[in-house]
Structure 1
Amino acid sequence: MFRFTLFRIPVEVQPFFWVTMVLVGGVNGIDSGRGIFKILLFILAGFISILVHELGHALTARKYGASVHIVLQAFGGYAAYSGKHMSRLQSFLITAAGPAIQIVLGLVAYFALQSLPNLNETGSHFLAMLAVISIFWAVLNLLPVLPLDGGRMLESILGPARFRITLWTTIIVGVGAGMFLLTKSIIFPIILGMSAWQAFQALQENRRF
């Protein structure tokens, strides 16, 4: 377990975070020293990008008076906050802050890459991965699928009285997006499929999840 503090926010990085980063980065590339180096760059870029994403949530929640901490775990992470009840608007803004700042990070990395034509191969590769990971992760999280950020934002907009609409949206978008991504990766369709299945179970049992 790796722990540190950033901007006075406790951060915990669980071992399976690194394992899933290797899996997403492509285990097929470890057959050579160069492949291993690229995977290490991918892990570093992913760590920075996902940490910035969670910092967006945590810093916004702290601004509203909550106590916060960040956990990076398998397939991503979360920013937990307690000590203050948030309004639906505050919850929406806290949730939206994560992908918003991650998109900004991705754009900064992209424009830095375009502005530095003489950057060495390692630097160029790192910036390219940072841009791709940041934009892809932010867009994926904006899908209206619980428990992703987009699903939480939709839940904040619709409120508890229309929670079944949020669940149905999770099922439809989760299945559709999962099928679309099936030709590109197996990991993300599994995550979306599990989200859709949980939403279906919640509908059947008439409970939240």
Structure 2
Amino acid sequence: MSPAPRGIPLGRIGGVPVTLSWSWFVIAAATVVLYTPVLAAQYPRLGAQAYAASLGFAVTLALSVLLHELAHAWTGRAFGWPTGRIVLSLLGGHTHFGDVRGTPLASAAVSLAGPAVNLALGAAGWAVLRAAQPEPSLGWVLLDLTAWANLIVGLFNLLPGLPLDGGRVVEALVWAATGRESRGTVVAAWAGRALAAGLIVAVAVAGLWRETAAVVLTVLVAGFMWQGAGASLRHAAVQARVRGLTAASLAEPAVVLPAEASLADADRVVLDHLAAHPPGPVPHVVILHRGRRPAGLLDPGAADAVPADRRAATPLTAVLRGLPEDAVLDADLREEQLLRAVARREHPYYVVTAADGRPVGVLSTAVLERRLAG
């Protein structure tokens, strides 16, 4: 399970936990420091209120991002996606979903919901401004800034490259066309890197590199896009490696014995298994409670230390490596579902069970990691 985010918990909104990351205060401070001189020059009648306008803009923009992320979360919930939490951070926010079995349609719909909210907010603010007399008051300036920011954020997020929402739409389209989500991720991620590079080139060509605020914002946004696209490429590589994998296909062979059995019984069952499956590896020994629930695995080191003349009198519980109750995986778990199940529990070994609960093998985290490493 991913660690809880660092920041200020804001409670639940619409059933979704929301956290304000400490990094948000960095962008809020940068907005006040860098944007206040711009506002003071553009609206000289504001005077010292230009500082309040900059800070207010940072706050209203955070609220707009929150509504953007809530739109993602609620749309995901409509498709049956479990929503973990929303984190508002340095360059916006992120909605964490739980164990998702997505489709191209659901992915595209969830992605488009966020920008749609920003565009609606921007259009509503623009309509109010059109109906009002343009006055350089604090409220008017704040509404003007927020309306334009929402329009820009909405349109920017529709750009066709990861990690932007428009990139998720590209990913979904390629996924639907090819049947492979990882291929869609690769295409959309490289499009995102191209956009990041293009943003820097555009700022340089326009001569905006002379303006400190423009340079800082460009570097932050382009860096965010480049790193986000890189993370998507790494994720796609993992997707490609796990394609077709199941818990059953990765499980190593195992034999099953009740906890009341002796170490000598285990020796005999293991030898019988090896005779029936030459030249297979030595199987794991899964030890069951009376309730047929896996109690643990035989510890080879502890078993080897027991002398031959004492093995018949040594119960398996004396050489048992205990397993937590959740160190059990369904044999049909596959691909990303399998990765998420292992990541949530973080145990070195898992007993893999059939639909009837019968152990069919043991999955080692080390084996899974070697497969993912290629």
Q: Give the TM-score taking structure 1 as reference length.
A: 0.85
Contact 2:185 2:233 in 1 (8 A): no
Matched, 1:22 2:37: no
- Paired position in structure 1 for 2:148: 132
Structure 2: runs of 5+ lacking an equivalent: 1-7, 41-46, 176-181, 209-213, 240-374
CA RMSD of aligned residues (A): 3.0
Identity across the alignment (%): 24
Given that 1:45 and 1:129 are in contact with CA atoms closer than 8 Å, whether structure 2 keeps it comes out as no
- Paired position in structure 2 for 1:103: 119
2:137 to 118, 121, 132: 121
Q: Which amino acid aligns with 1:39?
A: S
Deviation of 1:7 (Å): 1.8
Q: Counterpart amino acid of 1:23?
A: A
Q: Among 1, 10, 20, which residue is 1:3 paired with?
A: 10
| Structure with the higher fraction of residues in helix conformation | 1
- Equivalent residues in 2 for 1:1-209 (5 A)? 1-27=8-34, 29=36, 33-68=48-83, 69-117=85-133, 121-159=137-175, 160-181=182-203, 183=208, 184-193=214-223, 195-196=225-226, 199=229, 207=237
Residue pair 1:202, 1:208 contacting (<8 A) in 2 also:
no
Deviations 1:28-51 (A, max 9, x none): 628973232111221222122111
1:42-96 CA-partner distances (Å, limit 9, x unpaired): 1222122111111111110111122222110111111112244121110110011
Q: Greater relative contact order (Cα 8 A, min sep 6): structure 1 or 2?
A: 1
- Structure 2 Cα separation of the partners of residues 201 and 72 of structure 1: 19
| Consecutive unaligned residues in structure 1, runs of 5 or more | none
> Partners of 1:3 and 1:201 in 2: how far apart?
28
Higher share of residues assigned strand:
2
Inter-partner Cα distance in structure 2 for 1:137 and 1:57: 15
**Greater CA drift, 150-159 or 99-108:** 150-159
Q: In structure 1, how many angstroms separate the alpha carbons of the residues matched to 2:18 and 2:228?
A: 28
Cα deviations across residues 3-44 of structure 1 (Å, max 9, x unaligned)?
222222211111211221331454362897323211122122
8 Å contact 2:172–2:184 — kept in the other structure? no
Give 1 or 2 for the bigger CA radius of gyration: 2
